[in-house]
Amino acid sequence: MGIIQEPKRYVGRDLETIFFRPMISGESATDLGIRTIYNMPMPTTIQLWSPQSDVLRSYSAGWTGGDSAVRKQKTIEMTKVKAEVGFSASDYFNQVYELITNSAAVSLDDLTGSELEKAETEMFRAAIAESLRTQMWLGDTDAQSYNLFDGFIKLLSKYSCKFVDFSDNGWDRGAVAEVFSSMWENADARLRALKKDGQLAFFVTSEIYDAYEAYLDQFGNDTAYSDVINGRRELTYRGIAVVDMNITQAPGFDEQLKYTCFLTDRRNLALAVNTNDDPSAEVRMWYNPDEMENRQRATFLAGCEILDEDLVVVAKFE
């Protein structure tokens, strides 16, 4: 067998449970490092609540609850998008077969249709997830590429976020820590108060991430030596995660974004995907005998939004 010809189509409940929900929930969503929302009724309106800190009152008859909790509410503008991938029949079979053979639980003497279907789905799902991840950071409706919807970096320039100015004279080992320190000191009091929740993060490009790691390597102690030898699972600054957006390697990346760095709460960045409110939403995989090509297509709604621009601090380099 050298080709896969059985067509597959996911719609409705199967589209959600088999294809999309495993991609943007659980560990997969955690890997994105932001807030993910799937199939919330449209228009997709989300809230960021401020905790009530003064709720105690002297005991007396009647209601003395005071003001309601404060919330920031925004509607995510959803865009209809599609993903399409085509492979030569032999290349497609080899990729799917490799995914199957990598599983220890698979009997190669009895490959069933369900195992092939699972491998095909996993391959296409991974491609869509990576495209969504890149689009949510680099999306710009005015650009030549990644122009499906505005991503977080473009939204930063559109909103009145808190900008901290720095001179762009190169990223030496000490400069990156100074930038993080200044951003933290200039953060809104509400953002600083959210630190205890453990959801704050510096979102940075790879150049800044590497510079900060080099800064940590220079300390002459056993911990730093161990980190140099074994590597680090993640970087933090004063207990705040430093997250590499991994966007500089994207095709067509704008070099002007090379030094992008901002601080916010992960829950303040929301990516929404919807397959319920689009009648044409589907995932389809089929073999085209005329072109001897296996094709995959997905159509759905997607968009992203920054809920509260006051809870963002952006490093601006001049």
Cβ neighbours for 42, distance < 8 A, ≥ 6 positions apart: 78, 274, 277, 301
Q: Are the CB atoms for 78 and 272 separated by under 8 Å?
A: yes
pTM, 2 dp: 0.85
Question: What pLDDT shows up at residue 6?
Answer: 84
Question: What pLDDT shows up at residue 50?
Answer: 62
Question: What pLDDT shows up at residue 189?
Answer: 92
> Residue-wise pLDDT tens for the chain (318 aa)?
567 888 889 999 999 988 898 888 765 555 677 888 999 988 888 876 665 566 677 777 777 666 655 567 889 999 999 999 998 988 887 887 777 776 655 544 444 457 777 888 888 988 999 999 999 999 999 998 899 999 999 999 999 899 998 876 555 656 888 999 999 999 999 899 999 999 999 999 999 998 888 888 777 665 554 555 555 678 999 999 999 999 999 998 998 898 899 999 999 999 999 999 999 999 999 999 999 899 999 999 999 999 999 999 999 887
Give the tokens for residue 28: 């997969």
